[in-house]
Amino acid sequence: MMEELFMLAALCVLLSVAGALYRAWRGPGRADRMMSAQLIGSGGGGVAVLIAAARREPAILDVALVLALLAAFAAIAFVKTITRDGAGDPEADTEDGR
């Protein structure tokens, strides 16, 4: 019974990800596309967690972790590309020379 409930929840999250795919494809701006990419990453991780619970396979949780990390790194890369001079770069020299 719980397996079917987990799979139904995964289907609902997949429908949400489908909406995010449409927004990534037709988004009016770069920020909208990035937010949809974030939703795709977190939604994919959520689906992986739900499938891992339904099938009782903890190895699938590793896939969810990788998807979450990739989504976070994509957001950081996006911010660094849209800011002038890569603002927030930890390797950039500061004004006082430290």
Give kind and range of the element (H or E) at residue 88.
none
pLDDT score of 8 more than 80? yes
Q: Which residues, 6 or more positions from 85, have their beta carbon under 8 angstroms from its beta carbon? A: 92
50 exposure class (CB count in 10 Å sphere: 0-12, 13-18, 19+): buried
Mean pLDDT for 36-51 is 92
C-alpha span between 34 and 22 (Å, rounded): 12
Boundaries of every domain in the chain: 2-84
pLDDT tens sequence across 9-42: 999 999 999 999 998 888 788 888 888 888 898 9
**Residue 30 identity (one-letter amino acid):** R
pTM assigned to the model: 0.76
- What is the model's pLDDT at position 80? 81
